[in-house]
């Protein structure tokens, strides 16, 4: 990464504790691997810490020692039920959704070589939610379990639309064009969603809390439902990482290095669709996680996609669960939906990235 | 949209200079034709282009037609005479109620809001030199919506207070975007992208305000947020009417300077225009128009984006065609509202859903044609 982008990254809000040491340069070679490995361990520690925080902090104040005891020895008391039936599934869901969104963002940025790519900004999450709106309003599907297929279909349609629009001819889309294309698709879908929901107040009430992105009220079943899709998407993404490294030097260079460009792109798109669709079906459209996290990861480990993916998978849930906890603390006695908190964290970062003198292609 | 088609169909063989198709605009020199109207002393001299006059007249006809259809049809059909009688004050009881209490305020609101949004968009697109630089895309409308929503949900304020809140919100957003773009120029895609980011942030604020509200309030706020003309009373019509009556003449007065600003800062300065001051004043007018429109109906998408562009294309004007834009905006919004009311008859769909769908599709078309016209 260039010096300039480093400076900008320095202005980012850094919601993660101890994930990295911003002053240390990303070194290379053998020491580099050790440094990156250490960073990974730190990120994991941060994740565990945030996870515990998420289990401990909530509407019902429970002392930490009690939380800790009940966590390991469920005793059927009220506290135990709260912890085991509500807070732990919620945290696990945050872990799952965060991982999916972070990885999807990293994947999208690598595929489009676009620093502004984000499933939220490019309309993919809204595509998924349009699928869900159709499912709720027309097919009367009430359980999030049924949403997932519709979300996947919507995400796929939206992402194909945005990429076709954003890329002009055979050239790769410029960062700005892609964002504007995303805004166009978002506008259409947004109007479409609300047209349907306002005609159907019952669907509106059901949709109201789902749409801003929330981790509340979705438990075991949803975790189990979205897990297979996210797992498949995750495996595809990780397998693709080395090819994406080669593609970072341009299509021709990638081809010369033995990468099947078309197949890599197609598989990558499938992975993005699986990850975004499942995450959105589970928690509603949550924006900006996929935007911010890969930038933080690249700032720490440099451009190697394998490391960027690994870091993104760990940092994203820290950000998402952290935002969820923050939303619960700030919104007490209610809560602020996590999608709103991530927008407050992510949008300034997005603007800071846009203001860079030159939007470097990744 | 009928107006557009009519005007296009009625226009004879387009003369070379007057059709700003993407390719021809650059290749051919722009021929300025028309009649110059001067006062005897030469103090005032205006170039009147025949085509602009024709388009303006066609738009006026379309406007009257839309008004006629809106006022006569609906759940309770009226004849033209009955409507005219009601308007002049001696209609029967029921016609009087239907026309003067139900249909007229809504229609007047639609016309004024449409005109306000279109002029706001025309000014902003002209200053930024970018067809995407309209207040709905770069976040000013969302800023006004935040201001208004705070007044509605938190303070439960009156119409005047809502308008004031919207104005403050819009101006603050404009200031924020301006500060963010300092040293980077305000032209080009970058402004649009920064605006989209600001817009997204403001949308999150709106979502937050909505979840804080009760269910009934939330439903109302959401209908307002998508842009609605339902249940507009004379207070709404008066609010936006006054704003347009004050701000539109000001904008028209400055439109000559605006077309000089379009030629580039240096040329404009050489022509004796104080660029910074002109731009600032026009920007404030533009933001104020969008803010008052938003306060009355909620953020309505697309009118500010498309109306000025369509007007400019069919008039073949080289500068910002503010008056045709205003008429075009009024016709578009009134027509969209008519379509929403009649096509989805028993349901009360806010007009913003229609303009949003059409506007998004227009934006998509804009992107497709832009990409054909070499990559910028």
pLDDT digits (tens, 9 = 90+) for B71-90: 888 777 778 888 788 888 77
Is the pLDDT at A318 greater than 70? The verdict is: yes
Contact B200 A350 (CB under 8 A): yes
For residue A361, CA distances in Å to A8, A41, A109 come to 16, 30, 9
Helices and strands (H and E) in chain A: how many: 15, 0
- Tell me what the mean pLDDT of segment A286-294 comes to: 85
Tens of pLDDT, residues B272-318:
778 788 888 888 999 999 998 988 888 887 888 888 888 888 887 77
pLDDT computed for residue B6 by the predictor: 35
Contacts with A, B 103-162, CB within 8 Å: 132, 137
Within 8 A of B219 by CB-CB distance, chain A residues are 201, 204
Q: What is the ipTM of this complex?
A: 0.73
When CB atoms are compared, the residue of A177, A192, A347 closest to B204 is A347
Return the pLDDT at A173: 61
Mean pLDDT computed over A19-46? 67
Q: What's the whole-number mean pLDDT along residues A312-339? A: 85
Nearest to A350 among B197, B203, B211 (CB): B197
Cβ separation of B375 and A185 shorter than 8 Å?
no
The predicted structure's pLDDT at residue A290:
85
Q: What are the chain A neighbours of B363 within 8 Å (beta carbons)?
A: 180, 183-184, 187
* Phi-psi region at B42: left, alpha or beta (left = phi > 0; alpha = psi -120 to 50): left
In chain A, where are the structural domains located?
3-9+37-52+64-354
Confidence of residue B226 (pLDDT cuts 50, 70, 90): confident
Between positions 216 and 275 of B, the ones with CB within 8 A of A are 218-219, 222-223, 226
pLDDT (average), residues B340-359: 78
Give yes or no for residue A32 having a pLDDT over 50.
yes
pLDDT at B235: 83
Domains of chain B: 49-372 (1.10.3470.10)
Task: Give DSSP secondary structure letters for B3-22.
Answer: HHHHHHHHS-S--GGG---H
Q: Do B371 and A168 touch (CB under 8 A)?
A: yes
Digit-coded pLDDT (tens) for B150-195: 888 888 777 788 888 888 999 999 888 888 877 666 556 677 888 8
Q: What proportion of chain B, given as a percentage, has pLDDT over 90?
A: 9
Q: How confident is the model at residue A110 (pLDDT cuts 50, 70, 90)?
A: confident
* Contact between chains at A354 and B190 (C-beta distance less than 8 A): yes
Which of B132, B226, B354 lies closest to A180 in CB terms?
B132
Answer yes or no: is pLDDT of B43 > 70: no
Q: How long is chain A?
A: 362
| Structure confidence at residue A217 as a pLDDT band (50, 70, 90) | low
pLDDT for residue A17: 37
Question: Phi, psi at residue B37, to the nearest 5°?
Answer: -105, 125
Please tell me which residue, A222 or A319, carries the higher pLDDT value: A319
Closest CA to B72 of B63, B83, B61: B83
Angstrom distance (rounded) from CA B17 to CA A89: 67
- What architecture is the A3-9+37-52+64-354 domain classified under in CATH? Orthogonal Bundle (1.10)
Give residue B8's pLDDT: 35
What's residue B172's pLDDT?
92
The reply to whether residue B219 touches residue A204, judged by beta carbons under 8 angstroms, is yes
Q: Least CA distance to A346: which residue of chain B?
A: B201
Our CA angle for B240, B244, B247, nearest 5°, is 135
Q: Is the pLDDT of residue A165 over 50?
A: yes
- Which pLDDT score, from 0 to 100, does residue B77 have? 78
Span A213-224, average pLDDT: 64
Nearest by CB to residue A165, choosing from B356, B357, B367, is B367
Q: B134: closest CA among B177, B99, B76, B78?
A: B177
Determine the residue among B356, B358, B370, B376 to mutate to test chain A binding: the one whose Cβ has the most chain A Cβ atoms within 10 Å. B356
Q: What is the pLDDT of residue A99?
A: 93
Band (pLDDT 50/70/90 cuts) for residue A19 is very low
pLDDT of residue B30: 53
Find, among A38, A39, A76, A84, the residue nearest to A58 by Cα. Answer: A84
User: A133-139 contacts: CB < 8 A, separation 24 or more?
Assistant: A133/A192, A133/A193, A133/A196, A133/A197, A133/A203, A133/A207, A134/A196, A136/A203, A136/A206, A136/A207, A137/A196, A137/A197, A137/A199, A137/A200, A137/A203, A138/A196
Q: Do B352 and A191 touch (CB under 8 A)?
A: yes
**How many residues appear in chain B?**
376
Angle at B276 between CA B270 and CA B278, to 5 degrees: 85
| pLDDT surpasses 50 at A328 | yes
The residue with greater pLDDT, B1 or B169, is: B169
Can you give the pLDDT at residue A232? Answer: 93
Average pLDDT, chain B: 78
Closest partner CB to A183 (pick from B196, B201, B371): B196
Q: Please tell me which of the candidates B211, B226, B364 has its beta carbon nearest to residue A184.
A: B364
pTM score, whole prediction:
0.77
The model's confidence at residue A357, banded by pLDDT at 50, 70 and 90, is: low
pLDDT tens track for B104-150: 888 999 999 999 999 999 998 888 877 778 888 888 888 998 998 88
Q: What is the three-class DSSP state of A305?
A: helix
pLDDT of residue B17: 39
Give pLDDT, residue A169: 53
């Amino acid at each position: 990464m260039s010096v300039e982008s480093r400076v900008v990254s320095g202005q980012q809000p850094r919601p993660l504790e101890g994930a990295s040491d911003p002053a240390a340069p990303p070194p290379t070679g053998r020491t580099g691997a050790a440094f990156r490995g250490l960073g990974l361990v730190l990120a994991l520690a941060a994740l565990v810490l945030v996870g515990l925080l998420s289990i401990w902090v909530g509407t019902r104040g429970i002392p930490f020692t009690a939380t800790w005891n009940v966590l390991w020895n469920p005793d059927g008391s009220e506290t135990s039920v709260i912890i085991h039936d509500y807070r732990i599934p919620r945290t696990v869901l945050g872990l799952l959704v965060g991982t999916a969104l972070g990885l999807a963002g990293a994947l999208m940025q690598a595929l489009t070589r676009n620093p502004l790519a984000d499933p939220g900004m490019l309309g993919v999450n809204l595509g998924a939610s349009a699928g869900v709106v159709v499912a709720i309003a027309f097919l009367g599907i009430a359980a999030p379990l049924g949403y997932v297929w519709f979300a996947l279909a919507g995400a796929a349609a939206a992402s194909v639309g945005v990429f076709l629009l954003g890329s002009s001819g055979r050239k790769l889309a410029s960062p700005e064009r892609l964002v504007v294309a995303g805004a166009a698709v978002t506008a259409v879908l947004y109007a479409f969603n609300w047209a349907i929901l306002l005609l159907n107040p019952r669907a509106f009430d059901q949709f109201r809390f789902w749409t801003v992105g929330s981790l509340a009220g979705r438990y075991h079943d949803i975790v189990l439902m979205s897990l297979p899709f996210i797992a498949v998407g995750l495996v595809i993404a990780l397998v693709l990482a080395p090819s994406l490294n080669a593609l970072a030097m341009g299509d021709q260079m990638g081809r010369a290095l033995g990468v099947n460009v078309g197949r890599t792109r197609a598989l990558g798109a499938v992975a993005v669709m699986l990850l975004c669709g499942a995450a959105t079906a589970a928690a509603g459209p949550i924006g900006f996680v996929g935007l911010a996290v890969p930038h933080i990861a690249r700032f720490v480990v440099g451009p190697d996609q394998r490391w960027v993916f690994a870091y993104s998978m760990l940092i994203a849930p820290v950000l998402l669960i952290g935002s969820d906890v923050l939303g619960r603390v700030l919104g007490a006695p209610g809560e602020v939906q996590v999608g709103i908190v991530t927008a407050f964290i992510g949008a300034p970062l997005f603007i800071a990235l846009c203001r860079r003198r030159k939007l470097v292609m990744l | 949209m009928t107006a557009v088609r009519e005007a296009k169909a009625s226009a004879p063989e387009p003369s070379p200079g007057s059709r700003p198709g993407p390719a021809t605009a650059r290749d051919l020199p722009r021929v300025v034709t028309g009649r110059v109207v001067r006062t005897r002393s030469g103090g005032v001299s205006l170039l009147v282009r025949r085509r602009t006059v024709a388009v303006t007249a066609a738009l006026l006809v379309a406007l009257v037609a839309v008004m006629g259809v809106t006022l006569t049809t609906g759940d309770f059909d009226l004849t033209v005479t009955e409507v005219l009688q009601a308007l002049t004050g001696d209609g029967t009881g029921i016609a009087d109620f239907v026309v003067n209490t139900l249909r007229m305020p809504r229609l007047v609101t639609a016309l004024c809001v449409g005109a306000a949004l279109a002029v706001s968009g025309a000014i902003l697109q002209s200053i930024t030199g970018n067809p995407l630089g309209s207040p709905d895309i770069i976040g000013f409308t969302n800023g006004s919506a935040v201001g208004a929503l705070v007044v509605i949900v938190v303070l439960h304020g009156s119409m005047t207070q809502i308008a004031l809140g919207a104005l403050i919100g819009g101006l603050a957003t404009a200031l924020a975007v301006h500060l963010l773009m300092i040293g980077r120029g305000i032209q080009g895609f970058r402004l649009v992208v920064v605006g989209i980011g600001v817009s997204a942030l403001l949308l999150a604020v709106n979502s937050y305000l909505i979840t804080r509200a009760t269910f009934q309030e939330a439903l109302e706020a959401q209908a307002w947020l998508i842009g609605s003309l339902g249940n507009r009373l004379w207070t709404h019509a008066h609010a936006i009417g006054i704003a347009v009556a004050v701000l539109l003449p000001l904008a028209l007065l400055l439109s000559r300077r605006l077309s000089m600003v379009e030629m580039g800062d240096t040329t404009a300065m050489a022509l004796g225009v104080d660029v910074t001051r002109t731009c600032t004043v026009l920007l404030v007018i533009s933001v104020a128009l969008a803010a008052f429109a938003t306060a009355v109906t909620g953020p309505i998408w697309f009118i500010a984006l498309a109306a000025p562009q369509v007007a400019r294309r069919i008039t073949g004007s080289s500068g910002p065609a503010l008056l045709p834009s205003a008429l075009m905006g009024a016709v578009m919004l009134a027509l969209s509202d008519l379509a929403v009311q009649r096509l989805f008859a028993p349901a009360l769909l806010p007009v913003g859903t229609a303009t949003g769908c059409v506007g998004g599709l227009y934006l998509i078309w804009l992107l497709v044609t832009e990409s054909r016209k070499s990559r910028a």
